[in-house]
Each structure stands twice: as C-alpha cells, then as structure tokens.
Amino acid sequence: MMRTRPLKVALLGCGVVGSEVARIMTTHADDLTARIGAPVELAGIAVRRPDRVREGVPAELVTTDATALVKRGDIDIVVEVIGGIEPARTLITTAFEHGASVVSANKALLAEDGAALHAVAQRHGADLYYEAAVAGAIPLVRPLRESLVGDKVNRVLGIVNGTTNFILDRMETGGTGYSEALDEATALGYAEADPTADVEGFDAAAKAAILAGIAFHTRVRLDDVHREGITEVTAADIASARRMGRTVKLLAICERAEDGRSVTARVHPAMIPLSHPLASVREAYNAVFVEAEAAGQLMFYGPGAGGAPTASAVLGDLVAVCRNKLNGATGPGESAYSRLSVSPMGEVVTRYHISLDVADKPGVLAQVAAEFNEHGVSIETVHQQVKDGEASLVVVTHRASDAALSATVGALRALDTVRGVAGIMRVEGE
Amino acid sequence: MMRTRPLKVALLGCGVVGSEVARIMTTHADDLTARIGAPVELAGIAVRRPDRVREGVPAELVTTDATALVKRGDIDIVVEVIGGIEPARTLITTAFEHGASVVSANKALLAEDGAALHAVAQRHGADLYYEAAVAGAIPLVRPLRESLVGDKVNRVLGIVNGTTNFILDRMETGGTGYSEALDEATALGYAEADPTADVEGFDAAAKAAILAGIAFHTRVRLDDVHREGITEVTAADIASARRMGRTVKLLAICERAEDGRSVTARVHPAMIPLSHPLASVREAYNAVFVEAEAAGQLMFYGPGAGGAPTASAVLGDLVAVCRNKLNGATGPGESAYSRLSVSPMGEVVTRYHISLDVADKPGVLAQVAAEFNEHGVSIETVHQQVKDGEASLVVVTHRASDAALSATVGALRALDTVRGVAGIMRVEGE
C-alpha cells in the first residue's frame, strides 16, 4: 500500500554534503519511494550564497531564509548539513517546534548540546538521527544504538578523523615532518585552510563524546574528553615507534572503568603495533573497534568523510525517519540512564613510550629506573643508545595511571643527568 | 514513562546460543528494561531434552512442548535459535498467527523461505528480525537494511563462515593438508562432527542468499547461489597462491551486473592478495566488504559464530522488536521490489589462476596460449617451471566470463601436450 502524499524534506546547507544529498534524492527518487513506502520530495534548500549553488540542484527550491523554511509547517523532515553551533542549533530547535524530525551531520553541535536537542525532539514526538556526524559513511551510531543495544559495550577505540590520519600516514610512509605532511594534505584537499579543528583533535573529541555517550548509555560532554592533537608529533616520534615495531595514530578511546561505575574518553596520538588492524588504516580512512561483553571485538572500517559517503549516511537516516513518520512512531531517543561519572585523564591507565636525552655516564640508567620505581610505574623495556657523544634512553612502561606517569616525568626532568624529555607518547592496542 | 506490564519472550532452543540469551536476559534485566522502556520477561523455554538444560537457565520455564508455548497467546516475542527448516518454520509461522513477533538466528530457513515468512509476518503486523543469521555478532543485516538503505549497494564480498576460515588459515600457517586441518578444527570445536554444511559451502551460500536479497532489494533463492566448498583445496593450491603473493579464502560474493538489471551470488574458494584486508582475517573470524555507490567501500569485522556473539545479535534484535511493539509499529519488512534476475555462474566475470601439468617440449606454451586466445580469455601472467623432468605452467588471466574459462579449460584438457589440469581457482580482490 503506497501513500501518495509525498514526505517533504527541507535541506539546510548545500555544500559538499548537501549537494550530494540533493543529487541522490533526485536521481534515486524511485528507489527511495519504494524503500520508504511513500514518495519523498525535496521541498526547499536553504543556502547562504545562492550564487554558489551547484549544478544539478533545482534552483527554484533555493532560499536564503532558512528560518522561514523550517517554519513552513508542511516540512516533515529537516536535513541539517550546515555544521557549527549557530544558526544550526536554533534552526533544529525551530524545526522540532514546527513538527519536523531532524537528520543532522553536525558532530560539534551534537557533542556540545545533544542532550538538550534530544529533549526538545522527545517533547515534540520527533526523531533526531545523526549517523553522518561520526565517521562519515561507516555505520557506527546505528550499530551502537540498535545492534549492540542488548550487549554491554566496554570500549570504543578508533581512528575517527581522516585529515590527521592522512597526515600521520604521510609522515610514516614519506618520512616527512609534520608541516610538510600538513602542506600536502592541504594541497590535496584533505585539510582545510584553517586545519585547527582537525589537527588539534577538536573534531575527534566531538566524535568521542558522541560515541561514549551512546556506547555507555550516559552523558559525556565535550569538556569531559581529554584532547591532544597531532601538532607535536615529530618525525623522530614516528621513527622511534617504527624501531619498536609500532606506528603513530590519532586515536579516540572511550572506556568503561573496571569497576563499571565510571568511564573515560580521550583523544591523543598513540603508538600501536604494526600488526594491529588500525595500523594499516591508510590515508583519510577511518576505522573503529568496539569491544562488547557478549559480541567480543568488532571493527568497522570505511571512508570517514567526503560529500558522497556522508550523504550516504544522511540518506540512510532520512529513510529511517520517513518510515518512522509513516508508522506514527519514533526511533531510539537519547539513552543516558546509566548516569556514569567521567573520570579525569589522571585516572586513565595505559602504557607509555618515553624518550630521554641523558648524560653519557655510569649510573644514569639506575637513577632513571629508581624514579620510575619511586612513582610505582613499572618498566617493560629500556633501550639505551649513544651516538656522537649524546646518550638517549627509550623507556616503555607497563600499565600505569596517567597521574603516576606525569609525576614520574616531572621527577625525571628534575634530575641533573636528564638533559631533556624528548618525547612522551601513550602505547595502545597491545 | 515506564510501562510496567512486562513484554513476554518465548525462547525456542536452549543450546549454545539459547542459554547465552537466557543468561544475558537474566543478568542484564535492568539494563534491558531501561533500554526498552519496559521490563522484558522470559516466559518459557522450549527444548528437546529437558535433562540437558544448562546451569543458570530457570528450570521452571522449561518445556518440551514448543507448539503450546508459541500458541499461548500472551507471548510478545518468540526467539528462535533451534536452526534447521522444521520444526522452526512451523513454529515461527504459528508464532506470527498468535500475535508474536519473531527474532531468528536461522540462516538456512531464512535463505530457503524468507520471502514466505516475511509475508506471514506482514499479514499479522509482526516483525521478523534476523541479524544473528549472518556473521554472528557483526552488525550486517541492520546496516544493509537501514544504514545503507538510501544508497545503492553494488557488491558484498566477504568471509562469512568461521569453520572454513579456520581450516584454510591452518593450511596456510601450518602448511598442512585439508584433512589434517579439518581434524584440528574438529578437535578444537570449530567444526561439527558432520562438517558438511560448513566445508561444502552450504552455510555460506545461505548467508550469501540472505545478503544478496537485502543488499539488492530483490529475491535471491538458495538455489540461485553458485556453491563450491573447500574440500578440494590442496596444500599445493595454497603454496601456489603464496608464490604469487596471494592466499586462499572461502568467499561469498554478491554482485550487481554492470547494466544494473541482474545480480549474481556465489560461494567458492578464491585467491586474494596478501595485502587485501580479508587476507589477514584469521581463525574463525568473519569479515565482509560492502561497496556502495555513495558510501564507497566499507568493511565489517568480528566473531562470526559462537554462543555469546550470536546472543549479542539476538538481543539487539530483541530490544528493537520490543521497542517496535511499544510503539505499535513494525520495523523494515522484506524489500524485494527490484525484481532483478539472478544470472548463472557462466556469466560471472572474474580472473582465474590455472595450474597445468604439461609436456616438457618446445611449443607447448604457444599451444596453450593459443587456446586461451581462441576462447577470448586474455592472459595476464604465465609462470613456467621444470622440475624432475615434469613441466608445469601457472597461468593467471585477465577478467573473463566463467563460461569462457570453462570452455578454455575443456579445450586445454583435450591437448596432447597437457597432461592434466592440476588446479583452477578464481582470483578476487585485486
């Protein structure tokens, strides 16, 4: 039984993603109709610069008045692909108030204000879907919200930012420094003119907050996520990792504490073994491991950004929301009943790779080892090297808390025989 | 707002998977209640042998009368983890007729009779979910039915049977023959006493039929799937693959033809490059690539079988179906509107690796090459080897139809100078 009144969609934003959404809705209209059970129609497209509207986008639908579009009252679903906090937040809220459901690709907004938006959606009996906000085309939000909803997720660990993975991959394969690799990423369109959101880890941190919230059924705010970017990663770090059979990746890691009562979420560069599946994730690809009590270890891999992949995720959500509308139902809302606390970085327990420049004289290693021992940080391996009269130590620790490690490093810096701490990086995935 | 009348679940089967489902429903009852929005209660467990019921399974719920259980009338959801065609089919149909929705892990039944079961479900306004039927805990059915529903899937290619992957992995890493590796798999519990369903590819073919149907929105019957198992794979095949930088995997491959009007589905051993992500899928793990027009190439990886992983998938579906019940709605049903034809194996186009034992005399290569040319099969590489007076040729072809390749092999067998065709295997993933 096919309904004939079409579901009406308002598209907010018509850049790289929005124009792909419009293109697919037009070219694949028959398939979408069959899959939804009713026709779906693009009823309006709000843009900032109508002169920049791309080829293939129906010009008669374009408006610069996004507010009027979401207030029209006949819009069933608003697709928000503007990004950023405002005006996206106000437009989405207005859309809910006028009876629409919302599909969004906006990780920054969801991370900052997801709970409030979910509350408004629920109040109005509307859906808020956002698969495209995390890891582009890779199904991750739906598997966590639905497929693994009967399981207990203990860990989410992955590469969720394509730009930084591209840069680190180039540093690894080309042996180049950070700036050179960033320039290459910019020239090839993988990095934006202002790369801050990517290289400083803000984008990955927003995704980590969203993933941790869904995975652990709790609220994790953006401020709860410990964040370090890749701007301090050097060619020497990568070479040092390589000598130990490891590579460097920017990871987002969300973990449930062993006692089950708190969680942690963090984004930072880390060394992982070359044999780890994430080590072979090249260029701008994303990949995420999910560890759950019953399911075991799952991995999801694919293109983490780009117009078409992101549009694929948006359209999957659009079909789901349309089906819900036809059913007079809504899909899963926010699930934050666990109310777990988020522990600070100092309580995170992991392993560390520390490079020290030291005096080339007897007793230095003993002195250094004593400081680790003093702070309860157990050493797994030490590599000592003397080159051109300069001595260096590379220490890899067993698992220790971030606080204990920081205290150790502070004490090492105070030693006369330690000339400098050349690098500290966490070791994951072993 | 929490509903207090519990949703009642009948569990059919309490073996490796069923007992895990019962255990998780009991130990994680509070989480399930919070996630569903209503309590969910195990109302009965049908088993064949009540004396074999496992520890931790509530004995008072156990019955041997599965038919009476599904006919009770107060059951909201039936979880079927018996497997096989009958009595599962009749029990599921009876469950629908008595107002229940169904979660099933039964790949054989879904592949053989999925369309009819979906029709009964739809007639009764019930859900039929079956994430656990394909690739255990790996979310694959839901991503295809929901996440990628706005995209156009062109190809699904993967390792969907853990037993055969374990055997091939052992042959690869241990250099052992097929029988020895099968014995090891049996001893470790990876293969059943009668391994036919796995090693002859029946299990993988059922999954291929299900995946192809969902991916292409069409009907693919089990009989439509070309099926070859791994019983003919030899240590020599694997050594030959290794010399060319490849390994052997049992693959399920579902493809849309380039003209878009037909599809193919097949299960057979194939050589893939060692650099391909599927080459590093070890032991009993599963991994599936999905290629879609907008999303690009996605990969899903995880444990493909086992009690707990399969139970995780069952419980995800159980929560989804419970939510649908509370919403008074149903999830996606069968989507087969495309009505694409399924082409026979002869029309599949791929590459081939052919080992020939030939006479050690001049002109043989020219003769062999002429036969390939005659049948329109283009040669990519030839390796010629003479050892102990025996000459062999290993030919790898460019893309050709299976029909053209078969005709070529027939002609080669008829040549006086060809003593035998030692091995033919398809080459994929390049």
Render pLDDT for B153-206 as a digit per residue (tens, 0 to 9): 999 999 999 999 999 999 999 989 999 999 999 999 999 999 999 999 999 999
Distance CA A411, CA B318 (A): 54
For chain A, the residue count is 430
Distance CA A40, CA A33 (A): 6
Distance CA A92, CA A78 (A): 8
Distance CA A79, CA A101 (A): 9
Return the amino acid letter for B398: H
HSE-up (13 A, CA, CB side) for residue B111: 24
A307 closest CA partner among A44, A30, A56: A56
Name A285's Cβ contacts closer than 8 Å, sequence gap at least 6. A159, A162, A165, A301, A302, A303, A304
Which two three-digit tokens encode residue A183? Answer: 């320039």
pLDDT < 50 positions in chain B: 1
> Beta strand pairing status for A285-292 and A390-397?
unpaired
Cβ–Cβ gap B296/A277 under 8 Å: no
The position carrying tokens 């599927």 is: B278
- Burial tier of B51 (Cβ tally within 10 Å: 0-12, 13-18, 19+): exposed
DSSP assignment of A25-50: HHHTHHHHHHHHTS-EEEEEEE-S-G
pLDDT < 70 positions in chain A: 1-4
Cβ–Cβ gap B318/A150 under 8 Å: yes
Other C-beta atoms within 10 Å of B374: how many? 11
CB distance B248 to B224 below 8 Å = no
pLDDT at B90: 98
Residue B249 among the catalytic residues? no
CB distance B102 to B121 below 8 Å = yes
Cβ–Cβ gap B137/A298 under 8 Å: yes
Contacts of B312 in chain A (CB under 8 A): 148, 150-151, 292-295
Which two three-digit tokens encode residue A322? Answer: 């349309």
3-class secondary structure, A93? helix
CB distance B304 to B203 below 8 Å = no
Three-state secondary structure readout of A263-282: EEEEEEEEEEECCCHHHHCC
pLDDT at A13: 96
Q: CB distance from B279 to chain A under 8 Å?
A: no
Q: CB distance from B332 to chain A under 8 Å?
A: yes
Distance CA A139, CA A87 (A): 27
Instruction: Quote the DSSP letter at residue B84.
Output: S
Q: State the binding site of B.
A: 12-19, 107, 192
Cβ–Cβ gap A303/B292 under 8 Å: no
Cβ–Cβ gap B34/A337 under 8 Å: yes
Select from B35, B129, B151 the residue whose CB has the most chain A CBs within 10 Å, as the one to mutate to test that interface.
B151
**CA distance, residue B391 to nearest chain A CA (Å):** 39
**Partner-chain residue, chosen from A34, A131, A319, that has the shortest CB–CB distance to B337:** A34
pLDDT at A304: 87
A169 closest CA partner among A289, A271, A284, A287: A284
CA separation, residue B158 to residues B28, B69, B109, B413 (Å) = 33, 38, 21, 32
Angle of the B235-243 helix axis to the B162-174 helix axis, nearest 10: 70
pLDDT at B138: 96
Please tell me whether the peptide bond between A87 and the residue prior to it is cis, using omega within 30 degrees of 0. yes
Angle, alpha carbons A175-B429-B139 (nearest 5°): 95
Quote the longest CA-to-CA distance of chain B: 85
Q: State the binding site of A for L-homoserine.
A: 192
pLDDT at B2: 56
Distance CA B368, CA B353 (A): 14
Catalytic residue among A8, A207, A249, A325: A207
Q: CB distance from B291 to chain A under 8 Å?
A: no
The answer for B 177-216 residues in CB contact with A (under 8 A) is: none
pLDDT at A2: 56
pLDDT at A58: 87
Cβ–Cβ gap B329/A332 under 8 Å: no
**Partner-chain residue, chosen from B149, B152, B309, that has the shortest CB–CB distance to A296:** B309
Question: Domains (ranges, CATH) in chain A?
Answer: 7-134+307-327 (3.40.50.720), 141-303 (3.30.360.10), 345-427 (3.30.70.260)
Angle of the B307-327 helix axis to the B29-36 helix axis, nearest 10: 40
Q: CB distance from A311 to chain B under 8 Å?
A: yes
